[in-house]
Amino acid sequence: MFDCALQDKCFYLPKDGEMKLQFFHVEDLCRFIDVLLDKRPQQHIYNVGNSEGISIRKWVEMCYQVAGKEVRFKNVYDDIEQRKYFCFYDYEYYLDSMNSWQMRNLYLKDCVKHLYGIKIIQTRLIKSLILNL
């Protein structure tokens, strides 16, 4: 994603780009595991993910925004396997995470939001690229 943005490349968007994704920042996951270990709730299975899905289009726009670039889209409607040009399979990654959000809201007040999480990832990627030069 950031490679395309940093090189001002056109982004190949699956269909209309409205397929929803559901992310969860690794720092939130670690904090959630701490809560589970501490509170030991009766429920043992939790779907974790941001409570709101985000469309591919919006996610890409935010990644380019963080990189300081203007996104240009090329919608791909052809019968091309999506994984040949995009990092996710052609189905929505969207789970009912209400139970985990109720648990998190009791103990975690400041979960990472989409844009902030993308900024963290981009910063780490740039540091990694600089260190590998």
Q: Highest mean pLDDT range out of 68-72, 83-87, 107-111?
A: 68-72
Q: Indicate whether 55 pLDDT > 80.
A: yes
Give residue 70's pLDDT. 93
Backbone angles phi, psi at 110, to 5 degrees: -130, 65
Distance (Å, rounded) from C-alpha 99 to C-alpha 105?
A: 10
Tell me the CA distances in angstroms from 17 to 56, 70, 76, 99, 131, one per residue in order: 5, 17, 9, 28, 34
Q: What's the mean pLDDT in 121-129?
A: 62
Give residue 93's pLDDT. 62
Question: 53, 20 in Cβ contact below 8 A?
Answer: yes
Q: What's the mean pLDDT in 14-35?
A: 81
3-class DSSP string for the chain: CHHHHHCCCCEEEECCCCCEECCCCHHHHHHHHHHHHHHCCCCCCCCCCCCCCEEHHHHHHHHHHHCCCCCCEEEECCCCCHHHCCCCCCCCCCCCCHHHHHHHHHHCCCCCCHHHHHHHHHHHHHHHHHHCC
